Chain A
Amino acid sequence: MAEIVLDKVTKRYPDGALAVSEMNIEIADGEFIILVGPSGCGKSTALNMIAGLEDISGGELRIDGERANEKSPKDRDIAMVFQSYALYPHMSVRENMAFPLRLAKVDDATVKSKVEEAAKILDLTQHLDRRPSNLSGGQRQRVAMGRAIVRSPNAFLMDEPLSNLDAKLRGQMRTSVSKLQKQLGTTTVYVTHDQTEAMTLGDRVVVLRGGHVQQIGSPQFLYDQPANLFVAGFIGSPSMNFVPATLEGGALKSALGEVPLTDRIRTLVESSGAGREVVAGIRPEHFEDVALVDEQHRARGATFSSTVDVLESMGAEKYAYFSLESELAQTEELAEIAADAGSADVPGSGTTIVTRLDAASTAKEGETLQVWFDPDRIQLFDPKSGRNLTFED
């Protein structure tokens, strides 16, 4: 059990590339923390620095209050689960799991009991004498976990441990990783590029981009109060819709029409000193088919109507895609986010809006639909710095 503190930790490669820049994270004892970000954001580098597999170029890493920068991996007492599992192919499952204990010169009886206990937790008991090559992906993944938990380390580091599994298995393993961590109560740092894993697993999520920490907070907080455009676009699936807009006389003018600002938003925007040009963000679930909104709500909200480009019915809900003509150019920031999130739009002048509608909606592809949205759920961002102008502390 340990607390891990990254104090201005920096990684600079010999060629001058900055992989991680002044990262400050305090990980409490027993906490499950997720590092999430697009590829190349420095999350794996950060994890390798905590593990001791990569040198720290600047700043300090403290494990339980003690400086650990110069400690070798074996002296940090941290276990790691690799994306590729990295099982020893010449050893049986039992030997694989016993390996850390053997290195620590634990006596045979203890090794046996600890391995069997870990195997029981991970449901591997009947596979103990098999070789990794004869196991399925999910079983190999569990062996890798077993090798990590068997010696009760200070902390677990997991480097995208589920990304090699198929979708269904990934869902199951996600639940069991979460349960296992709660059961053991060991500090865990988990790296992923999948925002779903980030949302569902962690106590807190650290969003990284280009080696910089963007925001740290609980998943729900990040979802409701993203600090900037990047976090807003990265967290949530489908991601938040962004529309370039202008603020004029207490109203927001954009491709969604002219919407009066609610009192709450006006106060926040004024206190943040926003300029005239902003980017408005609104999540897909804050839209609804007008026909399904009762009168009382309808009056309070705003509406726009457009042609449904694509309609995806998921059974429980429907996703309707619209493309809106936008007079304002997309900001550079938005384009980068789209690229980072891997959803770079097909080149076009319009803005694509994704809306999540109730399954009862009668929307049809190619037909015009009137869509209602709640103006109080709009978030406004500075188009240059990306800062959230409606951020509430």
Chain B
Amino acid sequence: MAMQTATAGRKARWALLDIIVVAYALVPVLWIASLSFKSKETLADGNFFPREWTLDNYRDIFAMGEFVRPLINSIGISLIATLIAVVLGMMAAYAIARLDFPGKKLLVGVSLLIAMFPQISLVTPLFNIERELGLFDTWPGLILPYITFALPLAIYTLSSFFREIPWELEKAAKMDGATPAQAFRKVIAPLAAPGVFTTAILVFILCWNDFLFAISLTSTEASRTVPAALSFFTGASQFEDPTGTISAAAVVITIPIILFVLFFQRRIVAGLTSGAVKG
């Protein structure tokens, strides 16, 4: 009996702690969500639950060009940057995990260096370079720096996944009559899939959430992404408070990330390589 009470007490303590942590993390998010459903009159009333539910804010942002176009930019730029970074990262990570080539340590070191580099110090040079090259305020103008900063992340996560794949599987595939390309496609790639999806999620989030480059390297809606566009939101008139619409937009831009994670999470099956070799 004493034991049972002890466990019950432990459970209660843990539950309480968990609730506090979850609340701490979620309250700001829920507050934003709550604001987005409030009407303009009740916006500043301080209630957690809106007294008047309304979808006006959502209707407004989708009616405005200044939200829809950046949303398209965000999705396009992030997806393209993710795709290129993951493909390049896969090749680099495979080489790092499998081959012994001169300058390998240097390559890993340099990519780590790039990841640690303060982005703010690059903004001015990038701004000038891109203006000279005509990349300023274009999609490639954002995709290129995103790839640069996503690559180290991609290489790091992918190479640790590749390292876990037993080398002998590739030898076995070769012995079974596969060309190097077939061995990669039919044996290595399926086993690396969880790593690829994990990396894709991380890189996508990195690009999606970027504000610094988005605000500095764009000037119009041709390439401005949502995080930057949010800061330009105004109300219908100059004197109108845009809090409601900003909240609604903030809620909307978290949805693609949630979808992205949910979609790929099903493919991240831990321990896929178990059973390949005697453990």
| Shortest CB distance A160–B (Å) | 11
Residue of A nearest to B273 (CB): A89
| Shortest CB distance A157–B (Å) | 8
- Chain A residues with Cβ under 8 A from B277's Cβ? 84-87
Whether, in the assembled complex, A350 has its beta carbon less than 8 Å from a beta carbon of chain B, the answer is no
- Chain A residues with Cβ under 8 A from B179's Cβ? 72, 74
Whether, in the assembled complex, B182 has its beta carbon less than 8 Å from a beta carbon of chain A, the answer is yes
CB interface residues, B 162-194, toward A, < 8 Å: 166, 168-169, 171-179, 182, 186-187, 190-191
Supposing A51-B175, A78-B175 touch, asked if A86 and B169 sit within 8 A by C-beta, the answer is yes
Stretch of A19-27, A121-129, A131-139, A221-229 that contacts chain B: A131-139
Convert A91-135 into 0s and 1s, putting 1 for each residue whose CB lies closer than 8 angstroms to a CB of B. Answer: 000000001100110000000000000000000000000011111
- Chain A residues with Cβ under 8 A from B182's Cβ? 103
| Shortest CB distance B172–A (Å) | 4
In the complex the two chains form, is A164's CB within 8 Å of B278's CB?
Answer: yes
Residue of A nearest to B276 (CB): A89
Whether, in the assembled complex, A231 has its beta carbon less than 8 Å from a beta carbon of chain B, the answer is no
Whether, in the assembled complex, B275 has its beta carbon less than 8 Å from a beta carbon of chain A, the answer is yes
Whether, in the assembled complex, B272 has its beta carbon less than 8 Å from a beta carbon of chain A, the answer is yes
With beta carbons under 8 angstroms apart, the residue of A52, A53, A140 that contacts B278 is A140
Complex CA–CA separation, A7 to B277 (angstroms):
33
With beta carbons under 8 angstroms apart, the residue of B172, B187, B275 that contacts A80 is B172
| Shortest CB distance B279–A (Å) | 9
| Shortest CB distance A15–B (Å) | 12
Whether, in the assembled complex, A147 has its beta carbon less than 8 Å from a beta carbon of chain B, the answer is yes
| Shortest CB distance A189–B (Å) | 13
In the complex the two chains form, is B177's CB within 8 Å of A133's CB?
Answer: no
Residue of B nearest to A76 (CB): B175
In the complex the two chains form, is A85's CB within 8 Å of B278's CB?
Answer: yes
- Chain A residues with Cβ under 8 A from B172's Cβ? 80, 82, 86-88, 147
Q: Identify which of A86, A87, A133 gathers the most chain B CB atoms within 10 Å of its CB.
A: A86
| Shortest CB distance B228–A (Å) | 42
The count of residues in chain B whose C-beta lies closer than 8 Å to any C-beta of chain A is 24
Supposing A80-B172, A84-B168, A86-B171 touch, asked if A104 and B275 sit within 8 A by C-beta, the answer is no
The count of residues in chain A whose C-beta lies closer than 8 Å to any C-beta of chain B is 33
Supposing A89-B191, A89-B276, A90-B272 touch, asked if A84 and B166 sit within 8 A by C-beta, the answer is yes
In the complex the two chains form, is A86's CB within 8 Å of B166's CB?
Answer: yes
In the complex the two chains form, is A74's CB within 8 Å of B174's CB?
Answer: yes
With beta carbons under 8 angstroms apart, the residue of A72, A88, A157 that contacts B187 is A88
Complex CA–CA separation, A131 to B179 (angstroms):
24
With beta carbons under 8 angstroms apart, the residue of B173, B178, B190, B275 that contacts A132 is B275
Whether, in the assembled complex, A79 has its beta carbon less than 8 Å from a beta carbon of chain B, the answer is yes
| Shortest CB distance A77–B (Å) | 8
Supposing A74-B179, A86-B168, A86-B169 touch, asked if A53 and B174 sit within 8 A by C-beta, the answer is yes
- Chain A residues with Cβ under 8 A from B177's Cβ? 73-74, 77, 100, 103-104, 151
Whether, in the assembled complex, B121 has its beta carbon less than 8 Å from a beta carbon of chain A, the answer is no
In the complex the two chains form, is B275's CB within 8 Å of A140's CB?
Answer: yes
In the complex the two chains form, is A90's CB within 8 Å of B171's CB?
Answer: no
Whether, in the assembled complex, B238 has its beta carbon less than 8 Å from a beta carbon of chain A, the answer is no
CB interface residues, A 54-84, toward B, < 8 Å: 72-74, 77-80, 82, 84
| Shortest CB distance A127–B (Å) | 12
In the complex the two chains form, is A82's CB within 8 Å of B168's CB?
Answer: yes
Complex CA–CA separation, A248 to B172 (angstroms):
58
In the complex the two chains form, is A88's CB within 8 Å of B169's CB?
Answer: yes
Supposing A86-B172, A90-B191 touch, asked if A74 and B178 sit within 8 A by C-beta, the answer is yes
Whether, in the assembled complex, B274 has its beta carbon less than 8 Å from a beta carbon of chain A, the answer is yes
Task: Kindly list 8 other residue pairs between chains A and B, CB separation below 8 angstroms, not including A86-B168, A99-B186.
Answer: A53-B171, A73-B177, A74-B179, A80-B172, A87-B275, A87-B277, A133-B274, A151-B177
Closest 10 pairs (CB-CB, A-B) = A133-B275, A84-B277, A86-B172, A132-B275, A100-B176, A86-B168, A89-B276, A74-B177, A80-B175, A164-B278
Q: 15 pairs across A/B with beta carbons < 8 Å?
A: A52-B174, A53-B174, A74-B175, A74-B177, A74-B178, A78-B175, A87-B277, A89-B191, A89-B276, A100-B176, A100-B177, A103-B177, A132-B275, A140-B275, A140-B278
